[in-house]
Structure 1
């Protein structure tokens, strides 16, 4: 395997046994020799080495009464081998009607299920007369089902306006195969277009350019096109009682009319965030940047669909404290959407680079302390997940071994925060200005491509060779243990310090409360903190939950009224602490909160705490609220509770 050979070579160099130039020569040769291994994606059934989709066209009708989408998916494909006789696609929880060639001939097809974690393989038989480099079409007629994980159908009462039904998609990591039959792998990028029919009052948006809509009887027909190739997981759709409002030169927001004013006020700095990102990255090439604030059932903080970022309503707090989520998704316009991980074992190439860029944006906008506090909180969340998995688990590595698992089931803060720490460590060695130059070089080199970790290493070494003296290069390279950073499990090999005076005071304030001597003298400093500094205080309490007694929690709640705070970041930490400490007064508030949010960042830790507190109560609360959760969240909470 390429990974094993790269590890061996890197181990030698970092032990000082071979020279820098020998590394470049040997490493490049090994990359060439093992190039095929790099494109393996164990999370797809598609025969991507034999045929690749160049363009996908969806012609779908949204039927809200039955909560299904039906129509056709037409693939324009290129043969990569001679005598191609079959096409393997990912298709899960779909009813396939028929498959036709571009000549209109019915093609035979059948299902195989090699791995139940990733769904069945749809095998389509084609003429073996297809030669290498031939371009051809196939059209698949199909319908989604009630098991489709990518579609979240909402009744009117589950929306803010309570007027019209609503639906939105979420396809990352491998759920686009439940929206359409396709090559559901980030190793394949294609352009796409769509024609979507909806009830005439329902507006539709997609992660593509809106070419216009028209009313036909009781239906609205909307057409879309995207000429920048993307992986399947970035195909997105939202439909409901929606309106659009422009925020800046090329930024805007979409949400329900009753929620629009709050969103416009909260996201007033969106254009500035995009401009700041463009100032140190490369040119923004997607045209418009639009953020959709979804109903509460959206299970994530945000999702970086190009031209149509999805965001949780939990980021609309009223004080702009949570809009760093928007900065993260903006950064994905480059790292993830333009330069993409080729398989999910390399997910950190998407998220580690994006976390670095997000924090570079907020550092330039909000200053050093905000940046350092955000990084410190991220570090805490990393260690929460390291402890949850166990330090020896492959899922604590930047390059985990999925061994046939659904990659989504292993997603955590590890690729985000450990990846961020890795890149930040490199930044400390070469300087921020040099790192930004390298980042632009990396983005230009792999623009519109899907890559793996070894290409990142190779490009980094190439950049050093072209821009640094031999002495400077050696000084940097000998301090980076690529092997341990990328393949090692548990904590990162180098610890970075993001401390600030206020951050330490916030932690010391928590420690003072835990002494049990009542309200500390400097308790009022808390009121001057921005949200993330307050979360540092709360995270410290959660980390020391075994020292928190009921009287201590009562005193903290009396001083800061955290049980009724409207800030979801503070609230979930506080409620988690209360449940862990057995503070019964907070249970009804936790129940209420779990009925208001669907974001897994809040759901999963609270249900874990409730499980330990009272498993029967946890199941009761889950059963009461699960209809308001996204199907993915239902599965993941159900897994925690064993139901």
Structure 2
């Protein structure tokens, strides 16, 4: 998944309970004792009620109806179970806001019988524990249920909120622990399962899932799916709406609304090349097809790596392929995350750090080292900003239990950027001739498994450190994984193109002229991002007006530029940008792009009023995950604001 960096800083700070205390660095300790301590907690998922050591879901069969009018999925989930413990006699599932109608179990004679069940009171983060009594240890159990219209993992859009304005739209977002809001499950990455699904919907809605979607499927309101590879619950996905398909290659293509599909297919036309690059480096693509579903702008993330069907934001379709690293990222998850999966959210870097590293290698291979290095620099600059304010406990790759109240509040800078930086450190120490085969071997060795950080460490010690002695010490490995901050040994990345941008910006700030059009006409999105990010916190309104007149930042269709320009303008009272900023955060629901603007608005009384008014208008089109972030930002600002007479 593509999370944000700066946009989650506020939520991270709240979740971490920052109190301004100095960084709490670990004292020296015995490496063997530390490893044993980590291993002891590695397989405990504190964000799930499930008991996978007792019984595991081996296969899931869904039978669901899509009800747009009532904003509801209703039907049944049937589980084929593997009773691991001979003494186990209950199945515990994770749920959130589900109405449980009935639970039955299959007897040895093939007949089904009612089973007793209880639904515990709701926990704000974890939802409700569903306990099913199964004294006969039934080989299959079926739960009949319905979702809530406010399910945290589903978004329902009216026709007016779509591009075509004729057909309603629905899509899921299961990561981190939102699958439980639309399917009762063992909602932990420790459990992997195959699944099938039968879904009915209105005849004008095409239904897709993270499964074997047929590009030639008839739109008839009756759909069947199969996912033969085992996946964790957060990769379970569904979407329904006015969707059509356009191929990119025999095994890849784009699904989108009719008005978008052609532009998306053009923007993402290098997808097959990306697949071949990743296969050359890390082994075969094991999921058969790789399709991309372009969702409405309300999708809260950049992308979501659902197997066979990446969900993607339309905000990366800017016409010049400058933001297609998002596709490289989600594709890379086909190896890091989907194939080899973290066993708990405490080990998120095993998914996102590895994926960010692989993404950068794909970008370098296809688009050149200059672009890959610019993207590294942008990410690391954002990491530096985030590390100025978040609790050091969130700056470690392998989180300790109890560190994070809600897995949605993890430090994205840590799991994405620090994780990728660590792998670049290993790459440079060992050389690509050694590190590339190691990484390919890692993906092969742990294919279709969910593992904790300790498993990676064991594998790295045996297949890198021991094989190439003297390159990296165990102490260095420990520092990267278990200590906060970035080690002094971290490799540096320079960008000559960014140096030129820095020089142009400095010349203007020092009283010179703005860069000539002949120079800026060649700038990529990344260079414009760096140009704006390097501006001082405060600028006079007339200087902002000069920038805007020269480069038309206000109203830009490029979300990466917009998310930097509008906060700069708002901070400095450049009111001419307010209307466009409000329009932008109303139209777009991607958290990374809109939260910086909300964070800037709420810092002044007038801005807070504009933020509240805009949110009231935009909220019906936001995903629940985005709404929660905006609500928290506004609420915190109001709590800190002086009372009005």
Structures share fold, TM-score greater than 0.5: yes
Say which SS state the counterpart of residue 564 (structure 1) adopts. Answer: coil
Match in the other structure for 1:17: none
Q: Distance in 2 between matches of 1:185 and 1:10?
A: 33
Residue deviations 1:468-513 (CA, integer Å, cap 9, x gap): 3xxxx123226x6223322222344444322122211112222333
Distance 1:462 1:549, change over 3 A: same
Q: Distance in 1 between matches of 2:223 and 2:411?
A: 34
Count of residues paired in the alignment: 604
What TM-score, normalized by structure 1, do the two folds share?
0.90
Tell whether the 8 Å contact from 2:246 to 2:262 is kept in structure 1 after alignment: no
Deviation at 1:369, TM superposition (A): 0.6
Q: Kindly report which structure 2 residues correspond to 1:433-452, keeping only aligned pairs within 5 A, or say none.
A: 433-452=433-452
Tell whether the 8 Å contact from 1:46 to 1:89 is kept in structure 2 after alignment: yes
Say which SS state the counterpart of residue 83 (structure 1) adopts. Answer: coil
The answer as to 2:521 corresponding to 1:527 is yes
Deviation at 1:520, TM superposition (A): 4.0
Distance 1:540 1:228, change over 3 A: same
Tell whether the 8 Å contact from 1:205 to 1:238 is kept in structure 2 after alignment: yes
Residue deviations 1:310-352 (CA, integer Å, cap 9, x gap): 0000011111111110000000000000000000010000000
Q: Distance in 1 between matches of 2:393 and 2:614?
A: 33
Which runs of no fewer than 5 residues in structure 2 stay unpaired?
1-24, 637-645
Say which SS state the counterpart of residue 563 (structure 1) adopts. Answer: coil
The answer as to 2:266 corresponding to 1:265 is yes
Tell whether the 8 Å contact from 2:465 to 2:472 is kept in structure 1 after alignment: no
Match in the other structure for 1:164: 167
Tell whether the 8 Å contact from 1:294 to 1:312 is kept in structure 2 after alignment: yes
Tell whether the 8 Å contact from 2:398 to 2:482 is kept in structure 1 after alignment: yes
Match in the other structure for 2:289: 288
Tell whether the 8 Å contact from 2:96 to 2:122 is kept in structure 1 after alignment: no
Aligned residue among 609, 612, 630 for 1:616: 609
Match in the other structure for 1:396: 395
Deviation at 1:180, TM superposition (A): 0.6
Match in the other structure for 1:250: 251
The answer as to 2:589 corresponding to 1:598 is yes
Q: Distance in 1 between matches of 2:360 and 2:515?
A: 33
Tell whether the 8 Å contact from 2:90 to 2:133 is kept in structure 1 after alignment: yes
Deviation at 1:594, TM superposition (A): 0.8
Say which SS state the counterpart of residue 450 (structure 1) adopts. Answer: strand
Match in the other structure for 1:484: 479
Match in the other structure for 1:320: 321
Aligned residue among 632, 637, 641 for 2:634: 641
Deviation at 1:115, TM superposition (A): 4.3
Tell whether the 8 Å contact from 1:386 to 1:491 is kept in structure 2 after alignment: no
Deviation at 1:35, TM superposition (A): 5.1
Say which SS state the counterpart of residue 426 (structure 1) adopts. Answer: helix
Say which SS state the counterpart of residue 101 (structure 2) adopts. Answer: strand
Match in the other structure for 2:453: 453
Match in the other structure for 1:4: none
Distance 1:588 1:102, change over 3 A: same
What TM-score, normalized by structure 2, do the two folds share?
0.90
Distance 1:105 1:30, change over 3 A: same
Deviation at 1:379, TM superposition (A): 0.6
Match in the other structure for 1:628: 621
Q: Distance in 1 between matches of 2:483 and 2:542?
A: 43
Residue deviations 1:405-455 (CA, integer Å, cap 9, x gap): 120133523210011111111111111222111101111111100111111
Q: Distance in 2 between matches of 1:352 and 1:100?
A: 42
The answer as to 2:113 corresponding to 1:105 is yes
Greater shift after overlay, 633-642 or 579-588?
Answer: 579-588
The answer as to 2:536 corresponding to 1:538 is no
Q: Kindly report which structure 2 residues correspond to 1:573-584, keeping only aligned pairs within 5 A, or say none.
A: 573-584=564-575
Q: Distance in 2 between matches of 1:619 and 1:207?
A: 36
Residue deviations 1:99-151 (CA, integer Å, cap 9, x gap): 00013211111122484321111111111x53xxxx71100000001220111
Say which SS state the counterpart of residue 429 (structure 1) adopts. Answer: helix
Match in the other structure for 1:140: 143
Distance 1:162 1:522, change over 3 A: closer
Higher relative contact order (CA 8 A, sep 6+): 2
Which runs of no fewer than 5 residues in structure 1 stay unpaired?
1-6, 14-25
Distance 1:82 1:618, change over 3 A: same
Distance 1:347 1:521, change over 3 A: closer
Tell whether the 8 Å contact from 1:303 to 1:329 is kept in structure 2 after alignment: yes
Q: Distance in 2 between matches of 1:114 and 1:242?
A: 36
Q: Distance in 2 between matches of 1:377 and 1:149?
A: 31
Residue deviations 1:259-291 (CA, integer Å, cap 9, x gap): 121112111111111111111011101001000
Greater shift after overlay, 148-157 or 353-362?
Answer: 148-157
Q: Distance in 1 between matches of 2:412 and 2:302?
A: 13
The answer as to 2:434 corresponding to 1:426 is no
Deviation at 1:12, TM superposition (A): 5.2
